């Protein structure tokens, strides 16, 4: 019998995995939210035009809730200074913001995106500015930064286990809304486990502020993955980006892009984020750089992997070069692999970026080919496996000597992943075909667990049946095509365990589908050799 490793993930998604029963009512949201409001998972919400959460109001979104953005009215959600967004999903019930288009017809820029604005310090004159994207309403709801009395601990809420799909609509040329835009957000805000997919502009952009973030995914963005400017000084760890080889922005698409500000001034606070454990992948000449650090930024990158770019790293401009030479800008224990050119120097510059990067004490490494890094299946657009394979050089080599803040989790590996894939259960790699018509509602199936994980040839599916009934369990492909029958029999109420064997399935993605009464549960199944 051929043996496989089978990773089985429970994901109550509103798409790739469905608890499908009744069609949800659609509630159209327009204008201003001026009082505390809760959106629930038994409805679908449609953002029509710019929707503002006003100062003093809190918008709470239940786990498992689906929100769509209208393309024709440029639907977007703007959380103003002093307001809060409490979008706290779970690994089994992520909150999904997505296109209003039907399955198979969704694309870049189908709606605006999410904009969070806060009162933390920025380096713009007077300590405040109007956020890009054309969302200024003339009433101050598009303004960010704390002015002359900033609060770097400002709290704009929680965005956790959230997917943002097909955002990035252009208001005017070169004035687009990003997937997730953070303007002057303070460190009291929580950003964790967020996936931005198919953004028509940047996936994530931070304009000033001090917010920290962990477990971010930038998937198939048109422009930059992680853009920082205007005095942003947050800490970020465990970030993963994967680019589409056929799609890139004419303005140059980068993994990292960072400026102090648009003119490269010395305005303070200076842009100085600290990134650790980032994996960014590109494999097309249409892209530009793994990291483009310019205009006097002090951005620092640690324990990361930049793969497959035409240029791995560019330190651009005399001020930025000076920051690197003085040690304020750091790149440490970081890998460049499979880049056409590892380094790029601005025209007229004599800065020895290669010599600087390869300083022995910095712990950096270059590899000629992406295969040298030995990631399992990092470039698979339909279901990536970015974990390092056994023997990979990036399973070791991390250092946190320069990262003493307790925010950073000390790990041995470089890049976003060690031996655990933190994307499982909540991330989605095929949102264009996801069925977002139905709500999540399970009444008779609880306590679902599959083990061991990973498995070689056999695993156990456990569940609790609240009422006696027929239970039908089948394996299907991602399109729903029947593959094999696991069981179909009457079962009493109570706890049950069912053995699942793999005798013939090829490596790839599948579903285990469980039906009892009106409940229909689909569990994502990942099989690798």
Same domain as 213, residue 65: yes
Q: Does residue 7 lie within any of the structural domains?
A: no
Sign of CA dihedral 230, 234, 235, 239: negative
Same domain as 158, residue 178: yes
What is the structure's pLDDT at 439?
Answer: 44
Tokens at 451, concatenated: 């083990």
Question: In angstroms, rounded to a whole number, what is the distance separating the alpha carbons of residues 415 and 257?
Answer: 18
For the chain (529 residues), the mean pLDDT of every run of 10, in chain order, is: 34 34 75 97 94 98 95 95 97 94 90 98 98 94 98 98 93 81 98 97 97 98 95 98 82 90 98 98 82 98 96 97 98 97 94 98 97 95 94 98 97 97 94 72 67 69 85 71 80 88 74 70 68
Looking up tokens 């010599």, which residue turns up? 355
Q: Of 339, 309, 192, nearest to 242 (Cα)?
A: 309
pTM of the full structure: 0.81
Tokens at 61, concatenated: 């979104």
- The count of structural domains within the chain is 3
Q: Does residue 79 lie within any of the structural domains?
A: yes
Sign of CA dihedral 350, 255, 274, 210: positive
SS3 386: strand
Tokens at 432, concatenated: 């264009």
How many CA atoms, within 13 angstroms, populate the side-chain half-sphere of residue 318?
Answer: 3
Q: Does residue 363 lie within any of the structural domains?
A: yes
- Domain end (from 398, 413, 436): 436
Question: In angstroms, rounded to a whole number, what is the distance separating the alpha carbons of residues 476 and 456?
Answer: 19
Q: Does residue 255 lie within any of the structural domains?
A: no
How far from the centroid of its chain's Cα atoms is residue 468's Cα? 40
What is the structure's pLDDT at 13?
Answer: 33
Q: Of 108, 113, 107, nearest to 47 (Cα)?
A: 113
DSSP state of 407: T
Residue 418, domain extent: 226-238+269-436
Listing DSSP states for 100-112 in one string gives SSPTT---TTSS-
Same domain as 312, residue 280: yes
How far from the centroid of its chain's Cα atoms is residue 529's Cα? 27
DSSP state of 285: T
How many C-beta atoms lie closer than 10 Å to residue 372's C-beta? 16
Listing DSSP states for 298-327 in one string gives --EEES-EEES-SEEEEEESHHHHHHHHHT
Q: Does residue 342 lie within any of the structural domains?
A: yes
SS3 395: helix
How many C-beta atoms lie closer than 10 Å to residue 470's C-beta? 11
Q: Which CA distances in Å does 452 have to 338, 389, 424, 458, 460?
A: 35, 19, 15, 8, 7
Q: Are 117 and 79 in contact (CB under 8 A)?
A: yes
Same domain as 206, residue 89: yes
Q: Does residue 9 lie within any of the structural domains?
A: no
């Amino acid at each position: 019998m051929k043996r496989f490793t089978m990773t089985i993930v429970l994901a109550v998604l509103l798409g790739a995995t469905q608890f499908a029963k009744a069609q949800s009512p659609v509630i159209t949201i327009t204008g201003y939210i001026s009082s505390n409001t809760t959106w629930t998972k038994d409805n679908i919400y449609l953002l029509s035009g710019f929707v503002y959460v006003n100062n003093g109001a809190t918008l709470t979104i239940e786990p498992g809730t689906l929100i769509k953005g209208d393309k024709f009215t440029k639907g977007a959600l703007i959380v103003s200074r002093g307001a809060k967004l409490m979008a706290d999903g779970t690994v089994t019930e992520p909150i999904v913001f997505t296109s209003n288009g039907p399955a198979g017809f969704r694309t870049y820029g189908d709606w605006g995106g999410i904009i969070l604005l806060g009162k933390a310090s920025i380096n713009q004159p007077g300590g405040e500015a109007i956020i890009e994207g054309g969302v200024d309403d003339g009433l101050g709801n598009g303004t960010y930064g704390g002015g002359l009395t900033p609060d770097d601990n400002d709290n704009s809420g929680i965005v956790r286990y959230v997917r943002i799909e097909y955002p990035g609509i252009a208001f005017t040329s070169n004035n687009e809304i990003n997937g997730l835009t953070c303007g002057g957000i303070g460190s009291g805000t929580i950003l964790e486990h967020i996936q931005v997919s198919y953004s028509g502009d940047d996936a994530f952009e931070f304009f000033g502020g001090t917010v920290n973030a962990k477990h971010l995914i930038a998937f198939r963005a048109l422009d930059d993955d992680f853009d920082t400017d205007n005095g942003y000084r947050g800490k970020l760890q465990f970030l993963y980006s994967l680019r589409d080889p056929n799609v890139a922005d004419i303005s140059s698409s980068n993994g990292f892009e960072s400026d102090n500000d648009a003119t490269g001034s010395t305005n303070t606070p200076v842009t100085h984020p600290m990134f650790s454990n980032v994996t960014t992948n590109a494999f097309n000449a249409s892209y530009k750089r793994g990291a483009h650090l310019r205009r006097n930024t002090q951005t620092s990158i640690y324990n990361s992997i930049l793969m497959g770019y035409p240029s791995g790293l560019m330190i651009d401009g005399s001020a930025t070069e000076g920051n690197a030479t003085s040690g304020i800008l750091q790149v440490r224990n970081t890998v460049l692999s499979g880049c056409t050119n590892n380094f790029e120097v601005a025209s007229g510059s004599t800065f020895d970026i290669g010599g600087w990067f390869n300083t022995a004490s910095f712990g950096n490494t270059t590899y000629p080919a992406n295969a040298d890094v030995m990631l399992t299946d990092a470039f698979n657009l339909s279901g990536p496996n970015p974990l390092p394979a056994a023997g990979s050089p990036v399973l070791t080599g991390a250092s946190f000597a320069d990262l003493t803040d307790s925010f950073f989790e000390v790990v041995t590996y470089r890049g976003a992943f060690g031996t655990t894939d933190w994307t499982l259960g909540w991330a989605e790699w095929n949102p264009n075909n996801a069925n977002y018509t139905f709500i999540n509602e399970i009444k008779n199936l609880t306590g679902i667990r599959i083990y061991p994980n990973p498995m070689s040839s056999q695993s156990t599916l456990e569940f609790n049946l609240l009422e006696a009934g027929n239970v039908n369990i089948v394996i299907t492909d991602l399109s729903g095509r029947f593959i094999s029958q696991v069981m179909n029999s009457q079962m009493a109420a109570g706890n049950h365990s069912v053995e699942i064997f793999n005798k013939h399935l090829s490596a790839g993605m599948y579903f285990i589908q469980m039906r009892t009464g009106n409940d229909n549960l689909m569990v994502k199944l990942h099989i690798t050799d």
